[in-house]
Structure 1
């Protein structure tokens, strides 16, 4: 498993977390509240999110053999769509 983490500065973290969770809830297993969310992808990857007043923390776990860079791009591009007023958001992806 490969784990990627990012701290995304935004004052709208809770809103973006909830929008992303609702968006993907039609296709994937999703659990979320205003402060935390988890999304299970069909390829076995998992996205965990935590929102506070200044940041959205994301932890992306990708199984061996899956494209980590592609999964990072899927997550960041979807969040940027919801954050169109302040996009692009800053994702400081690093290995976790």
Structure 2
């Protein structure tokens, strides 16, 4: 399994975690509370954690292409949901 992580500084981390999980649950399995969420996309999974200052997203997939798809889905939706903030998502691989 390949893994990547992005830590996004924002004071609205819990709000974005909730919005993302509520949105995704219409198409894929998602479970969450105010501080942690897990979404099971077809290409892979994403676990999100929110605190007062950051939203951490850890994605996992079987291969590079699938990992890229999961990252793109999170990037695209988070930037749209946070349009009032200048959110930038930078992924890094983890072992």
The match for 1:60 is 59
- CA offsets 1:3-32 (integer angstroms, 9 cap, x no match): 000110000000000000000101111010
Question: Structure 2: how far apart are the matches of 1:21 and 1:78?
Answer: 11
Equivalent position SS for 2:30: strand
Q: Structure 2: any 5+ residue segments left out of the alignment?
A: none
Question: Structure 1: how far apart are the matches of 2:58 and 2:11?
Answer: 19
The match for 2:36 is 36
Count of equivalent residues: 94
Q: Structure 1: any 5+ residue segments left out of the alignment?
A: none
The match for 2:18 is 18
Q: How big is the shift at 1:70?
A: 3.1
Instruction: Could you list the structure 1 runs, at least 4 aligned residues long, displaced by more than 3 angstroms after superposition.
Output: none
Question: Structure 1: how far apart are the matches of 2:93 and 2:3?
Answer: 6
- CA offsets 1:37-92 (integer angstroms, 9 cap, x no match): 0000123x0000000000001100011263333321211110111101003x1222
Question: Structure 2: how far apart are the matches of 1:59 and 1:23?
Answer: 18
Question: Structure 2: how far apart are the matches of 1:23 and 1:67?
Answer: 20
Say whether residues 1:95 and 2:93 are aligned partners. Answer: yes
Instruction: Give the TM-score, by structure 2 length.
Output: 0.91
